[in-house]
Structure 1
Amino acid sequence: MSKTILYARVSTADQTLDHQRAQAEAAGFEIDEVVSDHGVSGVSTTLQERPEGKRLYDKLRHGDTLVVRWVDRLGRNYQDVTDTIRHFMRQGVVVRTVINNLTFDGATTDPMQEAVRDALIAFMAATAQAQAEATKEAQKAGIQAARNNEAKYRGKKPSYDSRKLMIVTDMLTRGAGTSEIAKATELTRQTVLRIKKDPAAAQVALAKWGL
């Protein structure tokens, strides 16, 4: 009997396993089991290098479904993410994301559909790595600002948190309009436009406020 397994990677104190499961269930997924890694980085560790991530390779069988909030839960490195998704597809495992409701499987034999699927996998993996690098640079900028005593004046507290910022940048990458993003995130159009104009500055603002 096939199973649906949610894999959650909880890397910071502001992320929770319950939140990731609630998101999945709210999106209509019926989760049979949850496998999670806590306090691990998606940049420096591959899925197979994580204690619980390694278990997925033993647990998942042909016909099973692996659910992740987004591909960044599998990793933040382009090559690692693409290799991981393709490995599971070869095993007959379907990989699905909560955000964007994407489905990756190896069932299709049509060359055009395969090309579209593989291009989408590559795009999502590249986006995950780009976001990780942008976050890292923003954190460096925030640390440097603090050292220069610039952080004494932090400005107005951002109306968004790291989760909403990720959703905004993801939707912008997919070409969504400002009004659509504002409605989805409950942010003002002006806030979305500021993030669009300078996403790195948005990350710095979060770092200064510890959000």
Structure 2
Amino acid sequence: MQTVLYARVSTADQTLEHQRTQAERAGYAFDVVVADHGVSGVSTKLRDRAEGRRLFDMLRRGDVLVVRWVDRLGRNYTDVTETLREFMNRGVVVRTIINGMEFDGATTDPMKCAIRDSMIAFLAAMAQAHAEATKDAQRAGIDHAKGRQTAYRGRKPSFTQAQYDLVQEMLAAGRGVSDIGKSTGLSRQTIYRLRDNPAGAERALESWR
């Protein structure tokens, strides 16, 4: 049996040593350290990475695989869930440094299996969602730098400027919400929103002009 640390970094500002240091501080000692440098977890499956392939070749029943978090294995939902299932089916225990989670295929209790599988699905989905959000933010930054950024306007208002003005006038006159709704054709919910956050409503109108 052996304990293996798998580390992956995809950018120049990340370091493999940092992941190893984190693991050692968490109390782990390793027989082998396997690391991929400059490899994306979104576009490149674990099997397709030079060092990632080593894991599939070397891991056996009773081995322990340690990763900083599941996103080191990948940032694609299907890839991560399939990878974890294969390792567990082999009898490999997968542990994460962050949150100290453990995924063990030896579990036979149906409820524990359901909780484990649900957690795997959740963490894999989180890894992909985080990667997509980061990609969107990077794209927005690039667009902004190129002068092509279009400001996010939010949802289009369900009211016009004329309706907004009329609502504010009727509220100032002490008219009731039902009366205002009949006069403007707006829902009670919209009227309450215009009453409680007039500045926000103004900004929404301005962004859509």
Question: Structure 1 residue 28: deviation in Å?
Answer: 1.1
SS at structure 1 position matched to 2:66: strand
Percent identity of the aligned residues?
A: 69
Match of 2:83 in 1: 84
* TM-aligned CA distance change 1:87 to 1:148, over 3 Å: same
- What is the CA deviation profile of residues 158-206 of structure 1, one whole-angstrom value per residue up to 9, with x for unaligned ones? xxxxxxxxxxxxxxxxxxxxxxxxxxxxxxxxxxxxxxxxxxxxxxxxx
* Superposition CA RMSD, Å: 1.1
The two structures have a TM-score, normalised by structure 2, of 0.70
Quote the offset at 1:14 in angstroms. 1.0
Structure 1 residue identity aligned to 2:128: Q
Q: Which whole-Å CA distance do the structure 2 matches of 1:124 and 1:28 have between them?
A: 23
* TM-superposed deviation, 1:72: 0.5
Structure 1 counterpart of 2:62: 63
| CA positional deviation for 1:117 | 0.2
Aligned to 1:17: 16
- Matched position secondary structure for 1:55: helix
Aligned to 1:130, what secondary structure does the other structure show? helix
The CA distance in 1 between the partners of 2:4 and 2:129, in whole Å, is 27
Residue 51 of structure 2 aligns to a residue in which SS? Answer: helix
Q: CA deviation at 1:115?
A: 0.1
Residues in 1 aligned to 2:148 and 2:12: alpha-carbon distance in whole angstroms: 26
TM-score normalised by the chain length of structure 1:
0.69
Report the equivalent of 1:146.
145
Q: CA 1:45 to 1:149, structure 2 compared with 1: closer, same or farther past 3 Å?
A: closer
Question: Structure 1 CA distance, aligned partners of 2:82 and 2:98?
Answer: 20
Q: CA deviation at 1:17?
A: 1.2
Match of 1:129 in 2: 128
Aligned to 1:73: 72
CA distance in 1 between counterparts of 2:62 and 2:123 reads 23
In the TM superposition, residue 149 of structure 1 has moved relative to its aligned partner by 8.5
- Measured against aligned partners, the alpha-carbon deviations of 1:55-92 in whole angstroms (never above 9, x if no partner) come to 10111110000000000000000000000000000000
2:108 aligned partner: 109
- What's the counterpart of residue 159 of structure 2? none
Q: CA deviation at 1:15?
A: 1.0
Counterpart CA distance in 1 for 2:123 and 2:27 is 22
Alignment size in residue pairs: 149
CA distance in 1, matches of 2:49, 2:148: 38
The separation in 2 between residues aligned to 1:3 and 1:14, in whole angstroms, is: 30
* Map of 2:180 onto structure 1: none
Structure 2, gaps ≥5 residues long: 150-209
Answering whether residue 98 of structure 2 is matched by residue 99 of structure 1, we say yes
Question: CA offsets per residue over residues 108-160 of structure 1, 9 Å max, x none?
Answer: 1100000000000000000000000000000001101111298xxxxxxxxxx
2:32 is matched with: 33
User: Based on CA coordinates, which of the two structures has the bigger radius of gyration?
Assistant: 2
Task: Name the amino acid aligned to 2:23.
Answer: A
Deviating 4+ runs (over 6 angstroms) = none
Q: What's the secondary structure of 1:51's corresponding residue?
A: coil
Q: Which amino acid aligns with 1:11?
A: S
Q: Distance in 1 between matches of 2:61 and 2:148?
A: 56
1:37 and 1:95 map into 2 onto residues whose CA distance is: 18
Residue type at the aligned position of 1:89: M
